[in-house]
Structure 1
């Protein structure tokens, strides 16, 4: 009986490994399987130095994986502030190609680390590039094309990009433990395709306590591509690298959701971790109300902050830092304000359970449905627009129809300043478009 049990146990183990390797060999796209079976990371300490305010910086070189027979190597800056308020939580900032001298970039991370009293990890070289003579979107699009040409499931570049972050968290945990810090949870943030990566890291790694994707407004790709055709009459020029391989057209016209889209589009994952979306109102990559397509479907605590008159490179870095700081504190304290909104065709009503400090109605006009070059203006909503109910909730009421003008489409959103447990937190609604009647 014991020999029989051992035999079937061995068979079960063989079948498990066979299923894993067959998935990797014969085309089943699975991000989690890639992350698990793409190698063990390693790191070495390159240098260390102190900041002017007394914090300590360490430069690590992390080898995150071997992808397509290429070692992926990353420069990682770990900053430990002078006064530590949080020893088990850290922030990971995902960046592109590293500068030659990382010490020149440390100041931008010192501010948030010292404000919070938490370690900040700046991960560079996501993705490693150039590869095949290509960078950024051109490189990602090429790997999508190669997947469709070969069927080999490790081709999509988002897979090794996600693995880069997870491997770095592994290495940083080990390194910080030697510094007397046992970090268990991470807030992960990044911009553009690094924001895309942050979503996917949040989908597969339980150490992620929250994500702050910046200027990635492209969840639910099939609807996004169709919306671009509807509003622009063509795909945005900013995603031409994907159009070059007909990926955008394929996504827009497929009756079924392509397997690649399901594998790399965060919309098709359950990501329950708290999330703060930071977007620019004039981002040329997307349509003005892209977030309307997916925001309501996101699970878990979720917030959005749209920066008016900002594009894909948001210049108001100070306010981005303030937003991340406030969100980090709310997440650590697990104190999440509720913010909901609805439009009944007449009144646009925002409801929250937190104290309202201010409210602004932002609006812009366009003769077409292209608002990328529109100028946004604000209407300061006095406290007469804010009502506290008997249950203690606050209602902010706006009248978008009052801002309609002849022969112009109107785009708008509401910005509100909240106070939650003494923490100032600024959020907005998703932008909405009222079309010419």
Structure 2
């Protein structure tokens, strides 16, 4: 073979692999699964001051992930709650909140995902709202877990799935837990669309997705594979370009945050230079899908007091990020109002605040906020940004 031909072939092959990786998630999500079904359970009225919204409870099975030789719960069953405000004004849009189901009382999660808060959001916005839980299904016991751990949850599930993928070349990308998490969100959108059309004769064509931590990740990847998502609100998940941000954390702390313990325990942090880790990043790093975010409005909420990711992760992805993007460092107890305000602006196609800035090293040299206070209160009047 001519040396030039060999060089061109060698340079072309990584791009082919990257294109295949970008298709893997989409193909998995769109593959029909005979386990998918939903059943209406009940309807309950809700009253907030003088306005009403009805809760529609649905049991939904999204898929079968892996099989019984790998995990104790292979079939994923969820509760899907759809809120229908009786004074609905816009029937073509829905806010879908994806939750892990872990909602400790007296926390901002309960403030955002509790029954009263969901009711408040629905009647205030006069728009469809839905809550999907749990994603992922948990706790789970994996029979090939190298540490023999049982009934693991959240990031421990993610770390195990990453470990299997990196260390076992026979494992397909579908082993990565982000794949079924995204599929659950997409099946929820399918269910909402079908149920609302059948029950209310309204056609939902647009979704805003909100999620916290792991399900912030779900919002990013779902937007990359489903064009119905026109806006996302990832909360406490700005870990894009995560290979670089893993290294950034280690350099900043001279070590790792205790929030990354699941990945440390599974030795993931020792694999950052491994080819398997690079392949993993091409499959589930949201920045790998950057071109698909051009038409997606993004409100990235970083929480003050975050114990997993650094507040300046943004330096490694924000400038590269395509499309409309907003960034806010926020106190936990103000997240529900911010989610509601952003969704209201998106659903009604109202302009969002526009910020321009110049940064030299780490010093903000100039910033300009354009837009009036005619938008929803919290989002425009109390607008803040983090550099």
Shorter chain as denominator, the TM-score bin is: 0.7 to 0.9
1:342/1:257 CA distance change after superposition, 3 Å: farther
Structure 1 vs Structure 2 CA RMSD: 2.6
1:264/1:48 CA distance change after superposition, 3 Å: same
Aligned to 1:78: 82
Tell me the TM-score normalised to structure 2 length: 0.80
Aligned to 1:140: 158
1:66 aligned onto 2:64: yes
Q: How does 1:164-313 map to 2 (within 5 A)?
A: 164-180=184-200, 181-251=202-272, 253-254=273-274, 258-270=278-290, 271-272=293-294, 273-307=296-330, 310=331
Tell me the TM-score normalised to structure 1 length: 0.71
Q: Which runs of 5+ in 1 are unaligned?
A: 1-22, 356-417, 432-437
What's the offset of the Cα at 1:352?
2.8
Alpha-carbon distance between aligned partners in 1 of 2:203 and 2:181, rounded to the nearest angstrom: 25
Q: Which runs of 5+ in 2 are unaligned?
A: 1-16, 68-73, 104-109, 142-150
Of residues 359, 362, 367, the one that matches 1:350 is 367
Structure with greater Cα Rg: 1
1:347/1:138 CA distance change after superposition, 3 Å: closer
What's the offset of the Cα at 1:288?
2.7
Q: Secondary structure at the match of 2:271?
A: helix
Alpha-carbon distance between aligned partners in 1 of 2:23 and 2:279, rounded to the nearest angstrom: 7
Aligned pair count reads 333
Q: 1:399-420 deviations in whole A, cap 9, x for unaligned?
A: xxxxxxxxxxxxxxxxxxx545
Q: 1:278-301 deviations in whole A, cap 9, x for unaligned?
A: 111321111231122211211111
Alpha-carbon distance between aligned partners in 2 of 1:348 and 1:27, rounded to the nearest angstrom: 39
Of residues 93, 117, 129, the one that matches 1:89 is 93
Please say if residues 29 and 153 of structure 1, whose CA atoms lie closer than 8 Å, have aligned partners that are also in contact.
no
Alpha-carbon distance between aligned partners in 2 of 1:134 and 1:183, rounded to the nearest angstrom: 36
Q: Secondary structure at the match of 2:367?
A: strand
Alpha-carbon distance between aligned partners in 2 of 1:155 and 1:320, rounded to the nearest angstrom: 32
Aligned to 1:324: 339
| More contact order relative to length (CA 8 Å, sep ≥ 6) | 2
Please say if residues 29 and 260 of structure 1, whose CA atoms lie closer than 8 Å, have aligned partners that are also in contact.
no
Structure with a larger share of its residues in helix:
2
